């Protein structure tokens, strides 16, 4: 146990949501399914982070409207809040919901109703419209795709090989490390 009295409630949370849904897979209001990937708490500083994954990448979650995205994240947060009540948590935690889909992470600050996402999202939307994918790896080997990535500074060509620059996809991130809340990358993010 660390100084921050770290606890991981993942198993209990998945058991809680599995009562209603097989395999802890649930459907968001947008119609996309999600899986609970991680649930961590920093009890000393009262941060709670629920990370969910949207495994279906055929239509990337980041392409939904802002209202649909917030509605999905508020829905996931309310599931966690219901769980916290049933588990008799003190009502003094600060809640974030992280969502991972199509190689991008989004962080939703439930307390301020703010969603943080990569400044690259606009280019990802263009990539999806032009190439039918939001995954830059799928454009490697496609000459027009590689040109798009390089022109948008999402990749660079070295020795005639195009390599994706994943650091350009960074966004605001929050997590629990050694039992303590950590955040970074706000400067790479846009928020609404």
- 132-148 pLDDT, tens digit per residue, is 988 888 899 999 999 99
Question: Which of the four pLDDT bands, split at 50, 70 and 90, describes residue 67?
Answer: very high
Assess contact for 85 and 163: CB atoms under 8 A.
no
Domain boundaries, the chain: 6-119+171-191, 120-169
Question: CA-CA distance, 121 to 124, in Å (whole number)?
Answer: 5
- 154-185 pLDDT, tens digit per residue, is 999 999 999 998 887 788 889 888 878 889 88
The pair of structure tokens assigned to 190 is: 């846009």
- 72-106 pLDDT, tens digit per residue, is 999 999 999 999 999 888 888 999 999 988 777 89
pLDDT at 155: 93
Question: Which of the four pLDDT bands, split at 50, 70 and 90, describes residue 8?
Answer: low
Report whether pLDDT(24) > 70.
no
pTM above 0.85, yes or no: no
For 82, the 3-state DSSP assignment is helix
pLDDT at 6: 40
pLDDT at 113: 95
Look at the chain and count its residues. 192
Question: CA-CA distance, 28 to 165, in Å (whole number)?
Answer: 31
Question: How large a percentage of the chain has pLDDT more than 90?
Answer: 34
Nearest-CA neighbor of 87 among 192, 10, 146, 2? 10
């Amino acid at each position: 146990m660390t100084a921050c009295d770290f606890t991981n409630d993942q198993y209990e949370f998945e058991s809680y949501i599995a009562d209603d849904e097989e395999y802890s897979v649930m459907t968001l209001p947008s119609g996309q399914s999600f899986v609970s990937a991680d649930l961590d708490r920093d009890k000393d500083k009262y941060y709670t982070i629920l990370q969910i994954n949207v495994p279906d990448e055929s239509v990337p979650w980041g392409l939904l409207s802002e209202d649909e995205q917030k509605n999905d994240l508020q829905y996931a947060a309310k599931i966690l809040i219901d769980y916290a009540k049933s588990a008799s948590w003190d009502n003094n935690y600060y809640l974030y919901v992280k969502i991972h889909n199509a190689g991008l992470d989004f962080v939703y600050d439930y307390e301020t109703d703010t969603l943080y996402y990569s400044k690259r999202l606009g280019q990802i939307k263009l990539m999806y419209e032009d190439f039918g994918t939001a995954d830059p790896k799928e454009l490697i080997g496609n000459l027009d795709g590689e040109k798009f990535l390089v022109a948008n500074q999402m990749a660079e060509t070295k020795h005639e090989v195009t390599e994706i620059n994943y650091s350009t996809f960074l966004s605001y991130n929050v997590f629990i490390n050694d039992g303590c809340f950590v955040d970074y990358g706000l400067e790479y993010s846009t928020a609404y």
